[in-house]
Amino acid sequence: MDINKHNFSVLAGINNEESSFESFDAQRNGLINVDLPSLSGATGNQATDDSYGEWSVLGYFGRFNYNFDEKYFLEVSGRYDGSSRFPDGNRFGFFPSFSAGWHLGRESFMESLDFLSSLKLRGSWGEIGNQNTSSLYPAVPGLGITDYGGTQTVNWLNEDTGTRYSTLQLPNLVSSAFTWETVQTLNLGVDAAFFKSRLSTSFDWFKRKTLDMLAPGAELPAILGASAPLENVADLESSGWELALTWNDKIGDFKYSIGATLYDYQSKITKFDNPAGLLSQYYVGRKLGEIWGYTTDGYYTIDDFEPGTLNEDPSSPNYLTGGTLKEGIPHWEGRNQNPGDIKYVDLDGDGIITDGNNTLENPGDRKIIGNSTRRYQYGFFGNFSYKNFDFSFLANGVGKRDIYLNNRVRFPYLDEFSVVYKSQLDYWTPDNQDAFFPRNYPLGGVNYGISRTTQTKYMLNGAYLRIKNLTLGYSIPETILKKNKIDKLRIYIAGENLFSFNDYPDGINTELATQGSGGIYPYLRSYSVGLNLTF
C-alpha cells in the first residue's frame, strides 16, 4: 500500500504442524533360501519391535512493514507459538521483534560524498522461541520400555526363551513449569559501498541472550537417585561481531574480485543455580569453552629427590624410581613421583597437587588455562580472470583457539593397544631428560596418566588456515566453438584441501568439534580435472 511516500505492508498467518510416526519391524534370521527372503521362510528366532511418536506445534504470526521514501524502514512482527512438548498451561509463548533501518546514503546531504556509493544503518531487537528438548514428551515422567532389540541394557536373561527380559526404565523427574527458551537478539549493523560499489563492506555487532534455558533446576545430592528435573533456569549471553569486505574491479581484460570475512563471538553463563560453584556444572560467569587445568612446572629431576633415595641401578626395571622428594617439592595427591614425571605448580601452596573439591572456591591447583571457543574465524576468497583463463581460491581458518588433546595421536603409547608414532619419539628417558613428552611406564601406567592431565605445557594452538579450494580454468574461445554448435566449453583443474597450516598432530581434522580418541577419518585431499560443456 503506497500513500504518498509512505509504504506499508501487513502480513498475518497461522502455522500448524503435526507429525506422527509409527514404525514396525520384524526380523528373523536363518533364511532357508537367501533368494526368497520371507519371515516364514526362515528358521531362526523371530523378533519384532515398534515405536510411536507424535508432536505438534501451533503458531500465529503477524508482521507490519513500513518505510518512508525508501529511506526509513520499520518492521514489527510477533509470533505466538505453542508446542505439544510443553505441559498444559505452559505451552504458548509470545515472541515479538522490531527492526529499523536508515538508508543514510539516500539523504540529500550525503550526495556530496561521491566516493560513497551507499550507506545503510540497521538495528533490530527480537525474540524467538526455542523448544530445546529432543524428547517428544519431556513433561511426562515416562517409564521407557527397554528390550533386547532396543537398548540392550537389560542384563537379565529369560532362560525359558533364551532372550533378555523386557523391563521398564526409571522415570525422570519432571517439572510441570517448564516452557520455551527465549533467544533474544540485539543486532546493530552498517552496510556501505564505496567507489562506485567496487568496495562493499558490512559490519554487524550482536548481543544474543538465551533466556530461561532448559537445564537441571539445581545440582542436587545424589541420594535423590535421579537427575534434577529440567527447568527454565539458566541464562546465556553471547556477544560478537562480523565484518565482511569485497572488492570488485577490472583492469582491461583482467577482472577480479577478492573478499574477506572475519567473525568473532564469546558466550558466558549469566544465570544458573549452582550455589556450591561446582566446576562440573555451569556457574554464573562461566565462559563457554573454558578449559581448567594445571600449570606445568617442567619435569621432576633427579635433583628434586633426596640424594641416595632413588634406585640408581641402570639395569633395574625400577631405575630412577622409589625416591623421596625433597622438602617443599609438591607431589600429586596419592602418588610417588619419579624423575621425568610432569611437575605442576602448587598454586594453592599446600604442597600437594589436587583438584580441591572441584568448586570455584576450591579448584585445587587448577585455573582457567585456555578456551576452546573458535575465535576470529575468517575466510578469504578470490576470483580472477584474464581473457580465457580464470582462477579462484577459497581459504578459511580460525584465528585463536586452545585445544587439549589427550589421545593416541597426541601422546605416545597410552596403553598396550597403542603404538608410538614417529612424531612422538621425543619422550623422556634417563638418557633423554630434555624430552618433549613425559616419562612413560609399562602399559602406559604408573604416573603417565597424571603427567598427561590437562595442563599448560601440552595445550595445542588450535588456530589454523586451510586452503580449501584452488581452481584454474580455461575457456575455449567462442569463435572456435560456434562452428561446432557449442555455446561454451571450459576445462579446469581443481584441488580440494591442498594445504593446511596448523600445529595439530598429523591426521587431525581441524574443523571437527571434538577430536575424540584421535582415531577419526582424516581429510581427503583431492584433485580433479574436468570440463564444462554447454550446448
Partner 1 sequence: MKNIYKIMAVLLLLVFSSCSESFLEKLPKDQLTVSTTFTTNANFETYAWSLYANILPGYWDFAPILREMGSDLMVNNAGTVGHELLWQRKTVPSSSGLWNNSYVNIRRANLMLDNIENSQLTDSEKDHWRGVGLFFRAYVYVELIANYGEVPWVDRALTEADEELFGPKTPRDQLAQNILNDLTEAESLISPSGNGDNTVNTDVVRALISRFGLYEGTWRKYHGLGGEATYLQASVDAGAKLIAAHPELHPNYDEVFNSESLQGVQGVLLYKAYEFGILNGRWSHYNRSSIGHRDLTKKAVDQYLCLDGQTIHTSPLFDGEQDAYDEFRNRDHRLYFNTPPPFRVDTGGRNQLTWEYDSDPKSREYIDLMATLSDDEHKTLPTINWRGLVVRTSPHFRKFNEGHGFNVTYTGYAFYKFSNKISRLQNRDSHDAPTFRMGEVFLNYAEAMYELGQFTQEVADKTINKLRARGAVAPLDLANIPNDPTRDADVAPELWEIRRERGIEFLAEGLGRVFDIKRWKKLVEYGDDEKLGRWVKNADYGNNLPIQGGASEGYVSPWGVPPGVPEHYYLEPIPSDQIVLNPELTQNSGWE
- Please report, as residue ranges, which positions from 457 to 516 form the binding site for partner 1 (by CB under 8 A): none
Angstrom distance (rounded) from CA 411 to CA 257 = 44
Using the rule CB under 8 A, is 18 a contact of partner 1? Answer: yes
- Pick one of 220, 347, 394, 476: the residue that binds partner 1 (CB under 8 A): 220
Which among 518, 511, 234, 237 is positioned nearest to 397, based on CA atoms?
511
Per-residue contact string for residues 249-278; x = within reach of partner 1 by CB under 8 A = ---------------------------x-x
Interaction residues for partner 1, span 170-209 (CB under 8 A): 170-171, 173
Torsion of CA 355, 356, 358, 364, to 10 degrees: -60
Residue 473 has which C-alpha cell?
Answer: 580454468
- Pick one of 187, 324, 358, 372: the residue that binds partner 1 (CB under 8 A): 358
Site size toward partner 1, by CB under 8 A:
79
Instruction: Report the residue number, 63 or 106, with the smaller CB distance to partner 1.
Output: 63
Using the rule CB under 8 A, is 24 a contact of partner 1? Answer: no
Phi, psi angles (nearest 5°) of residue 4: 50, -125
Instruction: Report the residue number, 26 or 113, with the smaller CB distance to partner 1.
Output: 26
Interaction residues for partner 1, span 388-407 (CB under 8 A): none
Question: Could you tell me which stretch among 7-15, 106-114, 240-248, 393-401 binds partner 1 (CB under 8 A)?
Answer: 7-15
Instruction: Report the residue number, 51 or 517, with the smaller CB distance to partner 1.
Output: 51
**Cα 227 → chain centroid:** 25
Q: In the complex, what is the shortest distance from the CB of residue 314 to partner 1, in angstroms, rounded to a whole number?
A: 15
Using the rule CB under 8 A, is 292 a contact of partner 1? Answer: no
Q: How many CB atoms lie within 10 A of CB 151?
A: 11
Using the rule CB under 8 A, is 221 a contact of partner 1? Answer: yes
Interaction residues for partner 1, span 38-57 (CB under 8 A): 50-57
Helix ranges restricted to H, 53-113? none
Instruction: Report the residue number, 276 or 291, with the smaller CB distance to partner 1.
Output: 276
Q: In the complex, what is the shortest distance from the CB of residue 131 to partner 1, in angstroms, rounded to a whole number?
A: 12
Q: How many CB atoms lie within 10 A of CB 288?
A: 15
Question: Could you tell me which stretch among 159-167, 203-211, 290-298, 428-436 binds partner 1 (CB under 8 A)?
Answer: 159-167
Which among 457, 532, 526 is positioned nearest to 495, based on CA atoms?
526
**Cα 440 → chain centroid:** 32
Which among 366, 444, 364 is positioned nearest to 404, based on CA atoms?
366
Q: In the complex, what is the shortest distance from the CB of residue 489 to partner 1, in angstroms, rounded to a whole number?
A: 55
Question: Could you tell me which stretch among 104-112, 200-208, 351-359, 501-509 binds partner 1 (CB under 8 A)?
Answer: 351-359
Q: In the complex, what is the shortest distance from the CB of residue 275 to partner 1, in angstroms, rounded to a whole number?
A: 9
Using the rule CB under 8 A, is 434 a contact of partner 1? Answer: no
Angstrom distance (rounded) from CA 31 to CA 60 = 54
Using the rule CB under 8 A, is 15 a contact of partner 1? Answer: no
Using the rule CB under 8 A, is 159 a contact of partner 1? Answer: yes
Which among 173, 189, 33, 17 is positioned nearest to 102, based on CA atoms?
189
Instruction: Report the residue number, 48 or 526, with the smaller CB distance to partner 1.
Output: 48
Q: In the complex, what is the shortest distance from the CB of residue 221 to partner 1, in angstroms, rounded to a whole number?
A: 5
- Pick one of 335, 367, 400, 490: the residue that binds partner 1 (CB under 8 A): 335
Using the rule CB under 8 A, is 157 a contact of partner 1? Answer: yes
Interaction residues for partner 1, span 97-156 (CB under 8 A): 136-137, 140-146, 148, 153-156
Residue corresponding to grid cell 608414532: 421
Q: In the complex, what is the shortest distance from the CB of residue 459 to partner 1, in angstroms, rounded to a whole number?
A: 22
Pairing verdict, β 366-371 and 290-294? antiparallel
Instruction: Report the residue number, 80 or 203, with the smaller CB distance to partner 1.
Output: 80
Cα dist from 17 to 22, 52, 56, 130, 132, whole Å: 17, 17, 5, 16, 17
Q: Enumerate the β-bridge partners of residue 378.
A: 262, 397
Q: In the complex, what is the shortest distance from the CB of residue 449 to partner 1, in angstroms, rounded to a whole number?
A: 10
**Residue 482 DSSP code:** H
- Pick one of 88, 114, 434, 506: the residue that binds partner 1 (CB under 8 A): 88
Question: Could you tell me which stretch among 163-171, 177-185, 250-258, 450-458 binds partner 1 (CB under 8 A)?
Answer: 163-171
Instruction: Report the residue number, 164 or 271, with the smaller CB distance to partner 1.
Output: 164
Which among 23, 112, 28, 13 is positioned nearest to 61, based on CA atoms?
13
Q: In the complex, what is the shortest distance from the CB of residue 285 to partner 1, in angstroms, rounded to a whole number?
A: 18
Residue 367 has which C-alpha cell?
Answer: 585455573
Are 197 and 250 in contact by the 8 Å Cβ rule? The answer is no
Nearby residues of 74 by Cβ (< 8 Å), 6 or more positions away: 65, 66, 67, 98, 99, 100
Q: How many CB atoms lie within 10 A of CB 36?
A: 9
Are 259 and 247 in contact by the 8 Å Cβ rule? The answer is yes
Interaction residues for partner 1, span 223-242 (CB under 8 A): 223-226, 228-229
Nearby residues of 494 by Cβ (< 8 Å), 6 or more positions away: 469, 470, 471, 472, 527, 528, 529, 530
- Pick one of 27, 48, 151, 166: the residue that binds partner 1 (CB under 8 A): 166
Q: Residue length, the chain?
A: 535
